[in-house]
């Protein structure tokens, strides 16, 4: 039996532009040649700093300009080993053991695990599965914390195509979020990992960073979700106020020039084509997944219908123990990430996340069918 | 005037195998293809872990086998972003603020800066510029620390082609080092960054890890010094006793598969040839540098004559203020790293390090001449 994995934040294997990257490698390795003998920190291509290969930072800026209509200053962009290293550097900058940070009640488990590793106290803010973080709840929680003398170090949010729910925060909520956090003088960490993957393009709200007049929001994004995770190429933007402080926590002497240069060479002429190709491959699967859920799961669950990203959040409305469901599903050869992983205090939830972008389209239906069979089996006993 | 930089730990630009890497990229990107869509942690090429691309770990093991005559187990090797990330992970594992660690009195400044960043108290052990760490001094310092109830977290040493002195520790001293640290139950961190770059090949002492019967020494090495630093590809070996603990401090989700796979593809058939090429290019420069020092600096200084590595350590025997010398040298367009940078407590030293491997051979003589002119100028005034 072929195993079907609805796990991880993976991308469609067939959109990996391997021929184009081979050509890019040929051109750029020849062009850079002996530049590789220098440390990234000691050469003009790296802008004499830990910020990384400048042409790749220019592509990050171009992507932002196109989407937001304002510039993302290249000098404030830093290339990292995936967006996860950006989260790591920001976390290490702000969090000392015992410090309080705020996230959405449900969020990326890598972030939660890392903040826990740093010894942070995490406060989760309620979210709406369609519109993301509930600003009233944030306001209330900030007021309570303030009244007991606790100042959170930052709020970490995933406003676009949220992981795990797929929610997208409306612009009006983003503006309120900015106003409230300014009032309490709390920085915002905006993780825009999935911001490129919009199925509906004309309704894109502006990013929090763009709406933040002082541009003090720290903005994290990645090339992983439009090309492939194994490249390990992400980036962040930080205001001067934070930039050097964040960089002082970086000890790896920069991101691989080899990987950065090949990807920059490919993307400089193909950014939009690659994004389109990626969106198309992912949307195809999203549609199949929604149809399959309708067909097999409508008696047992409800689920989100995201306009972008890699994830669908499924909530069971029947009495099924999640541990048992996971075990039963694995007997059927199908895997998914259980809800508790995404909860800021690992609360048991009758919910799970389906990550579908890397699953072959002709296996999605079978995968959902197996899950529904696992549910049925449990309900029978 | 062309600037001449004797700074950093850079490599000969002309040995960068760009054509071979282009060919390797073509073969391996085509071969791996959709593998890139998966996280390094989630695919067989990464051995389902944060350890990195297995074929590159196999090359690290092959290099060790050839040099040491014993196996370096592939399952205990972890690929990192340069050896610096290996130092970072090991440091984060062992050091909490206020902890004591031991290094050589002179050592790589990146390591010192990082240990200081972690809040470590650093104790330096005296070194001999030819034979490295002085074991009697280590023994005495360990005894003192023990008598006041302080247990150092580890000792960090650079036994081969030491940075900054070029010293190489004799095998008998290594054995004594192991015995003494075992007695006090202190782990050894062996940084073998420069272990490939031996000009005299038949006198190689065994690595500390090989001599350590229990194989509990943590061994760090790199592909940077045999190919190029901007690849950011290093590795470490750790015993089961430490391995998972070290990995628990890793949050970047692994090293770029793109960079790792291209380099592994090239090195699998060219490891020895690349090392030979590298040694030849570096030794050529070392010889010119030693001749030039003899010609221009013999009145003012003494220096080490290393049998390998990238560095020569110059000690002034005239009364010259190092700040003034650095300033004067920069007016002549020549740069080097001042001695205090390498000292565990940043002691002012009438010494500096010349890193020569990346300087064009026909500029080395001119560079040394400029330094001697700067010395003369200062002595005149």
Closest of B25, B70, B18, B34 to residue B262, by C-alpha: B25
Contacts of A37 in chain B (CB under 8 A): 10-13, 15-16, 228-230, 358
User: Binning pLDDT at 50, 70 and 90, where does residue A44 land?
Assistant: low
Question: Mean pLDDT of all residues in chain A?
Answer: 95
Q: In whole angstroms, what is the distance from residue B19 CA to residue B318 CA? A: 48
pLDDT digits (tens, 9 = 90+) for A289-346: 999 999 999 999 999 999 999 999 999 999 999 999 999 999 999 999 999 999 999 9
Closest of A229, A220, A207, A260 to residue A88, by C-alpha: A220
* CA A286 to the chain's CA centroid: 17
**Strand, coil or helix: A118:** coil
User: Binning pLDDT at 50, 70 and 90, where does residue B47 land?
Assistant: low
Q: In whole angstroms, what is the distance from residue B84 CA to residue A14 CA? A: 35
Measure Cα distances from B195 to A263, B7, B166, B240, B310 in Å. Answer: 32, 20, 11, 24, 11
pLDDT digits (tens, 9 = 90+) for A167-217: 999 999 999 999 999 999 999 999 999 999 999 877 789 999 999 999 999
Cross-chain residue pair A231–B257, CB shorter than 8 Å: yes
Contacts of A17 in chain B (CB under 8 A): none
* Residue A85 tokens, joined: 């290293």
**Strand, coil or helix: A307:** coil
User: Binning pLDDT at 50, 70 and 90, where does residue A1 land?
Assistant: confident
pLDDT digits (tens, 9 = 90+) for B99-131: 999 999 999 999 999 999 999 999 999 999 999
Cross-chain residue pair B8–A33, CB shorter than 8 Å: no
Looking at the complex, report in whole angstroms how far the Cα of residue A47 sits from the nearest Cα belonging to chain B.
14
Candidates A19, A26, A253; nearest CB to B232: A253
> What is the side-by-side order of every strand in the sheet holding B311-316?
B4-6, B334-338, B351-355, B311-316, B301-303
Judge whether residue B42 has pLDDT over 70: no
Closest of B305, B74, B77 to residue B192, by C-alpha: B77
A255 with A330, same domain: the answer is no
Cross-chain residue pair B42–A8, CB shorter than 8 Å: yes
Candidates A18, A35, A252; nearest CB to B85: A252
Per-residue confidence (pLDDT) for residue A40, from 0 to 100: 66
Contacts of B8 in chain A (CB under 8 A): 38-39, 42
Count structural domains, chain A.
2
B239 and B215 Cβ atoms separated by less than 8 Å: yes
Candidates B9, B257, B263; nearest CB to A230: B257
Contacts of B248 in chain A (CB under 8 A): 117
Candidates A21, A81, A227; nearest CB to B81: A81
Looking at the complex, report in whole angstroms how far the Cα of residue A93 sits from the nearest Cα belonging to chain B.
12
Secondary structure in 3-state letters for A140-191:
HHHHHHHHCCCCCCCEEECCCCCCCCCCCCCHHHHHHHHHHHHHHCCCEEEE
Candidates A40, A80, A252; nearest CB to B230: A40
Judge whether residue B370 has pLDDT over 70: yes
Q: In whole angstroms, what is the distance from residue B92 CA to residue A38 CA? A: 27
Q: What is B42-109 written as a DSSP string?
A: GSGGGTTSTT--HHHHHHHHHHHHHHHSS---GGGEEEESHHHHHHHHHHHHH--TT-EEEEESB--H
Measure Cα distances from B182 to A347, B155, B215, B265 in Å. Answer: 46, 11, 12, 39
The range of the structural domain enclosing residue A99 comes to 18-270
Q: What is B187-212 written as a DSSP string?
A: -EEEE-TTTT-BSS-TTPPPPHHHH-
Contacts of B29 in chain A (CB under 8 A): 18, 21-22, 25
Helix B82-94 and helix B109-117, axial crossing angle in degrees, nearest 10: 30
Contacts of B52 in chain A (CB under 8 A): none
Candidates B231, B248, B251; nearest CB to A84: B251
Cross-chain residue pair A84–B259, CB shorter than 8 Å: no
Backbone torsions φ then ψ of B171, nearest 5 degrees: -60, -40
Judge whether residue A155 has pLDDT over 80: yes
Cα atoms found within 13 Å of the Cα of residue A314, Cβ hemisphere only: 27
Per-residue confidence (pLDDT) for residue B45, from 0 to 100: 67
Which residue(s) pair with B315 in the sheet?
B302, B351
Measure Cα distances from B236 to A253, B64, B192, B242 in Å. Answer: 17, 12, 10, 12
* CA B87 to the chain's CA centroid: 10
Contacts of A87 in chain B (CB under 8 A): 251
On the 0-12 / 13-18 / 19+ scale of CB atoms within 10 A, B120 is: buried
Q: In whole angstroms, what is the distance from residue B374 CA to residue B372 CA? A: 5
B184 with B300, same domain: the answer is no
Closest of B332, B241, B259, B300 to residue B24, by C-alpha: B259
CATH of the domain at A306: 3.90.1150.10
Per-residue confidence (pLDDT) for residue A200, from 0 to 100: 86
Q: In whole angstroms, what is the distance from residue A240 CA to residue A64 CA? A: 18
B227 with B300, same domain: the answer is no
pLDDT digits (tens, 9 = 90+) for A256-297: 999 999 999 999 999 999 999 999 999 999 999 999 999 999
**Strand, coil or helix: B154:** coil
Determine the longest span between alpha carbons in chain A, in angstroms.
67
Q: In whole angstroms, what is the distance from residue A220 CA to residue A353 CA? A: 22
Question: Mean pLDDT of all residues in chain B?
Answer: 95
Contacts of B37 in chain A (CB under 8 A): 10-13, 15-16, 228-230, 358
Looking at the complex, report in whole angstroms how far the Cα of residue B319 sits from the nearest Cα belonging to chain A.
32
Per-residue confidence (pLDDT) for residue A24, from 0 to 100: 98
Looking at the complex, report in whole angstroms how far the Cα of residue B240 sits from the nearest Cα belonging to chain A.
21
Contacts of B220 in chain A (CB under 8 A): none
Cross-chain residue pair A230–B38, CB shorter than 8 Å: yes
CATH of the domain at B98: 3.40.640.10
Q: In whole angstroms, what is the distance from residue A4 CA to residue A364 CA? A: 8
Establish, for the pair of chains A and B, how many residue pairs have beta carbons separated by less than 8 Å.
200
B251 and A85 Cβ atoms separated by less than 8 Å: yes
Per-residue confidence (pLDDT) for residue B34, from 0 to 100: 85
Q: In whole angstroms, what is the distance from residue B378 CA to residue A166 CA? A: 68
Q: How many CB atoms lie within 10 A of CB A143?
A: 12
pLDDT digits (tens, 9 = 90+) for B51-93: 999 999 999 999 999 999 999 999 999 999 999 999 999 999 9
Looking at the complex, report in whole angstroms how far the Cα of residue A99 sits from the nearest Cα belonging to chain B.
17
B264 with B327, same domain: the answer is no
Contacts of A35 in chain B (CB under 8 A): 230
Measure Cα distances from B358 to A217, A268, B286, B329 in Å. Answer: 41, 30, 11, 19
pLDDT digits (tens, 9 = 90+) for A101-110: 999 999 999 9
Contacts of A18 in chain B (CB under 8 A): 29-30, 32-33, 36
Q: In whole angstroms, what is the distance from residue A253 CA to residue B234 CA? A: 12
B305 with B188, same domain: the answer is no
Domain boundary at B270, B291, B320, which? B270
A193 with A334, same domain: the answer is no
Among A9, A52, A258, A263, most B C-beta atoms within 10 A, so best to mutate, is: A258
Please state which of the ranges A85-99, A167-181, B1-15, B151-165 shows the lowest mean pLDDT.
B1-15
Angle at A332 between CA A327 and CA A337, to 5 degrees: 50
pLDDT digits (tens, 9 = 90+) for B164-207: 999 999 999 999 999 999 999 999 999 999 999 999 877 789 99
Average pLDDT of the residues in A33-61? 82
Among A91, A96, A256, most B C-beta atoms within 10 A, so best to mutate, is: A256
Judge whether residue A46 has pLDDT over 80: no
A184 with A322, same domain: the answer is no
B371 with B278, same domain: the answer is yes
pLDDT digits (tens, 9 = 90+) for B199-247: 987 778 999 999 999 999 999 999 999 999 999 999 999 999 999 999 9
Looking at the complex, report in whole angstroms how far the Cα of residue A119 sits from the nearest Cα belonging to chain B.
13
- Name residues whose C-beta falls within 8 Å of residue B266's C-beta, 6 or more positions apart in sequence: B17, B20, B21, B23, B24, B274
Per-residue confidence (pLDDT) for residue A335, from 0 to 100: 96
B188 with B244, same domain: the answer is yes
Percent of chain A predicted with pLDDT > 70: 97
Backbone torsions φ then ψ of A371, nearest 5 degrees: -60, -45
Domain boundary at B239, B270, B301, which? B270
Q: How many CB atoms lie within 10 A of CB A321?
A: 12
Per-residue confidence (pLDDT) for residue A47, from 0 to 100: 65
Cross-chain residue pair A358–B110, CB shorter than 8 Å: no
Cross-chain residue pair B358–A35, CB shorter than 8 Å: no
Q: In whole angstroms, what is the distance from residue B40 CA to residue B62 CA? A: 22
Judge whether residue A42 has pLDDT over 70: no
A290 with A339, same domain: the answer is yes
Per-residue confidence (pLDDT) for residue A232, from 0 to 100: 94
B249 with B281, same domain: the answer is no
Domain boundary at B270, B296, B316, which? B270
Q: In whole angstroms, what is the distance from residue A325 CA to residue A337 CA? A: 11
B355 with B238, same domain: the answer is no
E strand or H helix that includes residue B246: helix B240-247
């Amino acid at each position: 039996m072929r195993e079907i994995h609805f796990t991880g934040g993976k991308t469609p294997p067939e959109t990996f532009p391997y021929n184009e990257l081979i050509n890019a490698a040929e051109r750029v390795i020849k062009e850079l040649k002996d530049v590789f003998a220098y440390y990234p920190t000691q050469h003009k291509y790296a802008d004499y700093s830990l910020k990384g290969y400048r042409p790749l930072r220019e592509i990050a800026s171009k992507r932002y300009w196109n989407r937001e209509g304002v510039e993302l200053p290249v000098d404030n962009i830093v290339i990292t080993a995936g967006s996860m290293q950006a989260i790591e550097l920001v976390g290490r900058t702000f969090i000392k053991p015992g410090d309080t940070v705020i996230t959405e009640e449900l969020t990326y488990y890598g972030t939660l695990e890392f903040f826990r590793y740093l010894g942070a106290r995490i406060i989760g803010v309620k979210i709406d599965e369609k519109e993301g973080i509930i600003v009233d709840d944030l306001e209330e929680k900030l007021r309570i914390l303030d009244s007991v003398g606790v100042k959170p170090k930052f709020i970490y949010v995933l406003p676009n195509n949220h992981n795990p729910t797929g929610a997208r925060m409306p612009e009006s909520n983003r503006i309120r979020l900015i106003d409230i956090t300014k009032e309490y003088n709390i920085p915002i960490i905006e993780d825009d990992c999935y911001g490129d993957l919009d199925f509906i393009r004309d309704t894109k709200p502006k990013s929090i960073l763009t709406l933040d007049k002082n541009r003090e929001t720290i903005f994290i994004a990645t090339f992983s979700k439009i090309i492939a995770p194994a490249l390990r190429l992400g980036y962040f933007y930080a205001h001067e106020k934070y930039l050097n402080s964040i960089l002082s926590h970086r000890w790896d002497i920069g991101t691989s020039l080899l990987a950065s240069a090949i990807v920059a060479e490919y993307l400089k002429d193909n950014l939009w084509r690659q994004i389109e190709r990626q969106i198309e491959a992912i949307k195809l699967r999203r549609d199949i997944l929604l149809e399959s859920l309708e067909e097999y799961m409508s008696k047992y669950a409800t689920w989100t219908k995201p306009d972008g990203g890699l994830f669908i959040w499924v909530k069971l409305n029947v009495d099924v123990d999640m541990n048992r469901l996971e075990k039963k599903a694995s007997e059927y050869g199908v895997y998914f990430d259980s809800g508790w992983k995404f909860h800021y205090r690992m609360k048991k939830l009758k919910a799970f996340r389906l990550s579908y972008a890397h699953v072959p389209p002709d296996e999605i239906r079978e995968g959902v069918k197996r899950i529904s069979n696992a549910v049925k089996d449990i309900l029978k006993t």
